[in-house]
Amino acid sequence: MKKLCVIGFLMPALVVNCADPDSVIFPMADYVLVGVTVIDGTGAAPKPNQTIEIRDGRFVTIRHTVPGDTATLEVSGSFVTPGLIDAHVHLPQDRELLATTLDSMLSLGITSTRQMSSLPEYAQLLSEAESIQHTRVFRAAYWAGPTYMRDDPRVRDAYAAAGHVPWLMAVTDTTDLEAALLGARESGMTGIKMYSDIEPSLVKDIAGSARAAGFQVWSHAAVFPAKPSEVVESGVDVISHAAFFVWEGTTELPPTYNHPHQWNPFGPPAPYGTVSPDDPAVVTVLATMRDRGVILDPTISVMAYLSDEARTWAVNLTRLAHEMGIPIAAGTDAALLFDEIEALVNDVGMNPLEAIVSATLVGAAVIGADEDFGTIEAGKVADLVVYPADPSVDITALRRPSHVIKGGEHVRQRKADFPVCPWLAGFR
């Protein structure tokens, strides 16, 4: 009988045949799924009858099922996708509601999200929420000009209470960007969001400094008075709100987000009736986005809160961007992720596989983590959602997961829905 040794040290134990030092019997997988159809998040055709092995929180192998494969999670005949990513959220501020929301989001297969605003003590709130199994959160530092911080009713009280902090900052051409970015990093931020009331030259300086410091750079399409073309050319990674591209067709933008018009959550009244999504100036900006690899986060569904005209304009712009080959993310702002994904299929014209890519691989690129998340591939973090029906045929199947695995940990489905931050209750 051959002698076996167990080698532990700082790694999971390996069983080694000591008579043959080159022979290693690898440890058992933590989870094995057998006989599933894999929709891997790359846009490739679904692969039926696959076995997935997960160990130490990562995918180890994805291969064709063979006789003798033994499942540790019995889901044979099901369909699997990568964990979904909501690329644009504003989470609730209350501790209990925040925890409930993140818990329910994960139950519905949303394993990661991009939180687009910060509040006093928000880092502590998220730290407490993430201490147990919830959707992981990638956070943005929220930067705008002093006039915006002073005037916008959604932020002025929080800004006044917080003072000059790196995660909620009024920026000017005298701001020490290096120090501000260091503070943002120490506060746990992974991206810098530019909102409004920032001059084009400063938009460019912020984007360049943030990228050099290793941050993702996120921005509204129009950062009044900066036009979409100036935002794109600054070097941003992701642009939010398709409807804001309407401002590229104007000769001059309003100087601020909040005046002199009556306040509304999407800034000055937009010229949707006089500027078309296929206006040559708008198309030129989209072409620059495509050439630079800038991702569009269109937030179509939330535009229904503004007006049918705004939503229609956003849909048409997003359709054009998709046809031009611009990567499209699925972000909600203040809607449900499934509404946004279904709008990409039913209104924009994506096929279900393309929409799944938007909610997985493109979402991972938005948060700057596509090397670890977004697809079902060996070596990546094991975020996985199991469905009884095929979402590549019926995209609404994404609403009904049977199992969720996040980081190699199995999460049972617990809730049918989750609370949504009410319109105008938080930052937009």
Q: What pTM did the predictor assign?
A: 0.90
Distance CA 167, CA 59 (A): 34
For residue 17, pLDDT over 60 is answered with: no
- pLDDT tens readout for residues 195-240: 999 999 999 999 999 999 999 999 999 999 999 999 999 999 999 9
For residue 119, pLDDT over 80 is answered with: no
Q: In terms of Cα–Cα distance, which of 318, 195, 349 is closest to 245?
A: 318
- pLDDT tens readout for residues 358-374: 999 999 999 999 999 99
Stronger pLDDT, 233 or 159, i.e. the higher one: 233
Architecture of domain 83-374: Alpha-Beta Barrel (3.20)
Per-residue pLDDT, 266: 86
For residue 128, pLDDT over 80 is answered with: no
Helix-then-strand count for the chain, H and E: 12, 18
- pLDDT tens readout for residues 270-290: 999 999 999 999 999 999 999
b (16+ CB within 10 A) / e for 171-204: beeebebeebbebbeebbbbbbbbbbbbbbebbb
Looking at 17-21, 105-109, 304-308, which range is the least confident one?
A: 17-21
Distance CA 382, CA 239 (A): 28
Q: Is there a contact between 402 and 388 (Cβ–Cβ < 8 Å)?
A: yes
Domain boundaries, the chain: 83-374
Looking at 13-17, 108-112, 179-183, 358-362, which range is the least confident one?
A: 13-17
- Residue 288 backbone dihedrals phi, psi, to 5 degrees: -65, -40
